[in-house]
């Protein structure tokens, strides 16, 4: 028996919001498409996601398209929700670092830094943080900024079919991860920056290692620039794509390279300096193209500015010995960490002391690790410049050993509001480019 195709309109045909809705039953796709063409209706709603390679996580885009043109785009989030902020309310202040570092897993050290700066404000010890600890924080953040920008551009190229871009990019990122692992014991999700300073001093050969490996990163960035900046195919896919004006970006809360590519030099390292950034020589990079290609240009230039900062940090580290944790033993984490072949853990000498020779050290260690320190009642808000834009943390203390509330203003979440205005009126194929140029990481979006 031949299959029967029936395609009919339902609902209010003149509804300006939704338009006619078509229900298809029976028949094959060719017959249904022919009937749709006869009716003169090419509008279709499709889901891109919630699993899609260009999303840097699990994101759902609801696209209203007419032919190849995007009429409307809506963003659906929540598919990667981990309950990090709520979990932080049930852990002490130091343990909170282990949670927030896992939000944006491409740039974990920035969440750690923002959170710890906020805790230190609540404690009133901002000025007591050792200078060497602050220098190390800047070092690891700027290394992480370069790695994040490389991943943003390299994976965007892979999403367009240029696998070579990703392999070169990940090669450069690998050098940075080797440095971070050497310093913190872990490649990602470090929990290295702690309230009061950092978990431990950098190994003795770190400065030499950074100076040896950073030129290799610069080489890989140069190769990637050759594949992007003068490549006619790459330029055709990025120029005049994902356009957003400065006024629209500001109205929608856009920050980071995406906003600076529209001409506005918004950078918290300059506007509201922290960790001594006001003492470093670097430029805030802007572009006036307002498109995806301009965002790539800004990220490349920022990589070189981060290298300038790193060079300055290394010189200061050589001239700045001293502790890396605040002197107050009621706040300072008591562990004396060491990095061995099996990863990060307490040094054997420290274990020998607290378990065999000093009952007071054991009691203090046990109490501070299990209960944590108390933070005076109050609330604080701290901004820093994340690779994706302004990262804010709002901390509330009720005077206890755990946060009453910890909330993060993640730049990826805020920047995704701009996806619609960048994509609507453009081509379906350009949605991937636009989204990748925003560079969202969904671990930070959903938290």
Report the DSSP beta bridge partners of residue 7: 24
pLDDT at 12: 44
Of 66-80, 207-221, 355-369, 392-406, which range is least confident? 355-369
pLDDT at 116: 93
pLDDT at 297: 92
Cα 265-268-271 angle, rounded to 5 deg:
70
**How do 343-346 and 21-25 pair as beta strands?**
unpaired
CA separation for the pair 155, 432 (Å, rounded): 11
Instruction: Choose among 419, 384, 396, 405: nearest CA to 253.
Output: 419
Report, as an integer, the average pLDDT of 373-390: 92
Phi-psi region of 381 (alpha: psi -120 to 50; beta: other; left: phi over 0): beta
For each of the domains in the chain, give its residue range(s) and CATH number, in order of start. 84-331+373-446 (1.10.645.10)
Extract the runs of DSSP E, i.e. beta strands, from 1-110. 6-10, 21-25, 43-48, 60-66, 69-76
pLDDT at 22: 54
pLDDT at 13 over 60: no
CA separation for the pair 9, 297 (Å, rounded): 48
pLDDT at 407 over 50: yes
Count of CA atoms in the C-beta half-sphere (13 A) of 337: 22
Residues 107, 112, 115, 121, CA torsion sign:
negative
* pLDDT band with cut points at 50, 70 and 90 for residue 339: low
429 within 8 A of 68, measured Cβ to Cβ? yes
Q: What is the pTM of this model?
A: 0.84
CA 135 to chain centre: 21
pLDDT at 23: 60
Report, as an integer, the average pLDDT of 122-139: 93
**How do 21-25 and 43-48 pair as beta strands?**
unpaired
pLDDT at 5: 42
Phi-psi region of 275 (alpha: psi -120 to 50; beta: other; left: phi over 0): left
Q: Is 199 exposed, middle or buried (0-12, 13-18, 19+ CB in 10 A)?
A: buried
275 within 8 A of 137, measured Cβ to Cβ? yes
pLDDT at 16 over 90: no
Q: Of 332 and 115, which is predicted with more confidence? A: 115
pLDDT at 43 over 80: no
CA separation for the pair 45, 17 (Å, rounded): 13
Q: In 10 A of CB 172, how many CB atoms?
A: 24
State the alpha helices, DSSP H only, in 124-205.
131-159, 163-184
List of residues 6+ apart from 399 with CB closer than 8 A: 374, 375, 376, 377
pLDDT at 230 over 90: no
Q: Is 346 exposed, middle or buried (0-12, 13-18, 19+ CB in 10 A)?
A: middle
Count of CA atoms in the C-beta half-sphere (13 A) of 33: 4
pLDDT at 341: 57
Cis peptide before 50 (omega within 30 of 0): yes
Which residue shows structure tokens 């005076």? 376
pLDDT at 228: 87
CA separation for the pair 228, 262 (Å, rounded): 20
Token pair listed for 282:
């670097």
Of 39-43, 225-229, 311-315, 324-328, which range is least confident? 39-43
Count of CA atoms in the C-beta half-sphere (13 A) of 150: 29
Tens of pLDDT, residue by residue over 146-162, are: 999 999 999 888 888 88
pLDDT at 77 over 90: no
**How do 69-76 and 21-25 pair as beta strands?**
unpaired
pLDDT at 276 over 50: yes
375 within 8 A of 404, measured Cβ to Cβ? no
Report the DSSP beta bridge partners of residue 225: none
* pLDDT band with cut points at 50, 70 and 90 for residue 41: low
426-439 exposure pattern, b = at least 16 Cβ within 10 A, e = fewer: beeebbbbbbbbbb
pLDDT at 443: 83
420 within 8 A of 72, measured Cβ to Cβ? yes
Report, as an integer, the average pLDDT of 269-295: 92
């Amino acid at each position: 028996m031949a299959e029967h195709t029936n395609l009919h309109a339902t609902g209010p045909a003149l509804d300006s919001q939704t338009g006619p809705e078509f229900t298809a039953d029976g028949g094959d796709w060719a017959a249904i498409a022919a009937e749709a063409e006869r009716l003169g209706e090419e509008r279709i709603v499709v889901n891109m996601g919630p699993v899609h390679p260009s999303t840097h996580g699990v994101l759902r885009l609801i696209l209203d398209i007419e032919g190849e043109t995007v009429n409307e785009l809506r963003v659906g989030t929540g598919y990667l929700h981990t309950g990090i902020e709520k979990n932080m309310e049930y852990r002490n202040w130091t343990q909170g670092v282990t949670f927030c570092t896992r939000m944006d897993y491409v740039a974990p050290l920035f969440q750690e830094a923002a959170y710890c700066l906020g805790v230190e404000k609540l404690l009133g010890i901002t000025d007591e943080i050792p200078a060497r600890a602050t220098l190390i924080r800047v070092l690891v953040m700027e290394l992480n900024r370069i790695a994040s920008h490389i991943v943003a551009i390299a994976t965007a190229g892979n999403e367009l079919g240029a696998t070579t871009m990703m392999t070169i990019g990940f090669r450069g990122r690998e050098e940075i991860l080797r440095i971070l692992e050497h310093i913190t014991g872990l490649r990602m999700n470090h929990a290295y920056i702690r309230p009061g300073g950092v978990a431990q001093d950098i190994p003795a050969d770190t400065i030499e290692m950074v100076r040896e490996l950073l030129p290799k990163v610069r080489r890989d960035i140069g190769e990637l620039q050759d594949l992007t900046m003068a490549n006619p195919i790459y330029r055709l896919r990025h120029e005049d794509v994902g356009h957003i004006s400065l006024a629209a970006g500001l109205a929608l809360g856009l920050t980071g390279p995406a906003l600076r590519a529209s001409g506005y030099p918004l950078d918290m390292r300059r506007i509201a300096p922290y960790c001594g950034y006001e003492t470093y020589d670097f430029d805030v990079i802007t572009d006036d193209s307002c498109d995806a290609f301009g965002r790539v240009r800004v990220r490349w230039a920022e990589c070189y500015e981060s290298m300038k900062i790193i060079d300055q940090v290394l010189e200061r580290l050589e001239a700045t010995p001293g502790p890396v944790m605040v002197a107050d033993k009621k706040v300072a984490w008591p562990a004396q960490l060491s990095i061995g072949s099996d990863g990060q853990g307490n040094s054997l000498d420290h274990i020998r002391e607290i378990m065999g020779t000093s009952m007071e050290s054991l009691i203090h260690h046990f109490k501070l690790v299990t209960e944590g320190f108390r933070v005076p009642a109050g609330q604080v808000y701290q901004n820093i410049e994340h690779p994706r834009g302004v990262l804010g943390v709002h901390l509330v203390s009720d005077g206890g050993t755990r946060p009453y509330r910890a909330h993060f203003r993640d730049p990826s979440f805020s920047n995704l509001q701009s996806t619609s205005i960048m994509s609507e009126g453009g081509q379906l194929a350009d949605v991937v480019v636009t989204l990748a140029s925003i560079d969202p990481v969904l671990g930070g979006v959903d938290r």
